Amino acid sequence: MARTSETREPLIHLSKRSSIHPLKAWMIRLAAVALGLALCGLVAFLLIERLRANPGRIGEFYYTFIKGSFSTSRKIWKYLKNLSILLCIALALTPAFRMRFWNIGGEGQTLVGVLGCIAVAFYLGGKIPEWLLLILMLLAALVCGAAWGLIPALFKARWNTNETLFTLMMNYVATYLVAFFLEVWVTNGSGTLPKQKFGKLPTVGGQAYLLIILIVLALTVCLYIYLNYTKHGYEISVVGESVRTAQYVGINDKKVVIRTMLLSGALCGLAGYLIGAGLDQSITTESAGGQGFTAIMVSWLGKFNPAAMVLTAGLIQLLNQGAAQISQDFDVSGALPNVIVGIILFFIIGCEFFINYEVHFRGAKQKAGKEAVK
């Protein structure tokens, strides 16, 4: 009986953590970012010729991330503007996500928002007062976005269709709808709609982007309150956690799904309005620029908490602009900047695993066991 138990047990053993100290969780996240950055440096060193020729520029490489967003005041404003648009779409998706309604149609809902507001500007611009035009454009954007959110919600409520596939496909419908209208509106064959003369959001405080930033800031606060302190927000959480619980206490889950998707779609429409009336004054099939998908990540990383999403949107925007700066400064093109962003995001998302689970190694445990025996 003196034999010790044979160690044929698995090498790695995972167990779910029951709780984790917030400080420890943040340490894990920081370590993940540091590791991600280190790996980025290595990849960059191997793939960027200029860097390999002159390894001393590696410090410059890391500085580029900050430089991309903060080196000049113009860049800072641009950073804040891009952050705001991204955050706006992420905020729009969040009520649906809290309800476990996987709305990945933010791209399409935003795009039809742009389409709605540009259509109003195209047909009514100059014919009615500018203030009225802006209001009508806003309404059109909200209604279009809401409609794009409503359709999958109705199908979900009526026939229990899969919302992920449905909202995804609606994105393509939106893209081709825009292509169709461009055919109708642009008669010279160039395929690009010139900037509209009317229907531009006014400049506040002498800064072109300040109004957009303020609108999204206000939206963040409102949505935080809506989700955490109102009856609607509570109903969303209950339906998201368990439809059966909702039915048990008399919440009409279908009504909540439809109402919330109307809101989610309308807020995407608002983001479309900010793009259409606040920035572009025009529309292409790429007006949403993939931000509808990036926003999904912003919302997830922020754990569907609007306040935390300000940070995650900030981080992702920082990486995006840093990547653009790298391709400029180091004269690399193609997918490399995206690879670098991807590596860092991989580490950030992957580290959540280590926050939720604890990893035990066979060797480590044996040691602990022996100590216990002593």
Positions that interact with another protein (CB under 8 A): 1, 3, 5-6, 8-10, 15-18, 229-234, 237-238, 241-242, 244-245, 247-252, 358, 365, 369
Give the nearer residue to another protein in terms of CB position, either 18 or 333: 18
Please say which residue, 349 or 368, places its beta carbon nearer to another protein.
368
Alpha-carbon distances of 51 from 45, 55, 56, 127, rounded to whole Å: 6, 5, 8, 57
The token duo for 331 is: 């004269």
Residue placing its CB nearer to another protein in the complex, 5 or 187? 5
Nearer to another protein, 152 or 233 (CB): 233
| Measured distance CA(280)–CA(287) in Å, rounded | 8
Min dist. Cβ of residue 299 to another protein (A) = 17
The CA–CA distances, whole Å, from 10 to 13, 18, 362, 369 equal: 7, 22, 7, 16
Q: Residue 255 Cβ, how far from another protein at the closest point, in Å? A: 11
| Whole-number Å distance between alpha carbons of 348 and 360 | 21
* CA 88 to chain CA centroid, nearest Å: 9
What's the closest the beta carbon of residue 5 comes to another protein, in angstroms? Answer: 6
CB count in 10 Å sphere of residue 51: 20
Rounded distance, CA 263 to CA 142, Å? 9
| Shortest distance, position 254 Cβ to another protein, whole Å | 12
Nearest approach in angstroms of CB 250 to another protein is 3
State the minimum distance, in angstroms, from the CB of residue 21 to another protein.
13
Question: C-beta of 19: minimal distance to another protein in Å?
Answer: 8
CB closer to another protein out of 74 and 231: 231
Q: Which is nearer to another protein, 46 or 372 (CB)?
A: 372
Cα distances (Å, whole numbers) of residue 123 to 27, 95, 163, 229, 316: 55, 33, 34, 41, 37
Taking the C-alpha atoms of residue 337 and residue 62, their distance in angstroms, rounded to an integer, is: 13
Produce one character per residue of 165-200: b if its CB has 16 or more CB atoms within 10 Å, e if not. ebbbebbeebbebbeebbeeeeeeeeeebeebebbb
**Number of neighbouring beta carbons within 10 Å of residue 48:** 20
Nearer to another protein, 183 or 241 (CB): 241
Rounded Cα–Cα distance for residues 321 and 310 (Å): 16
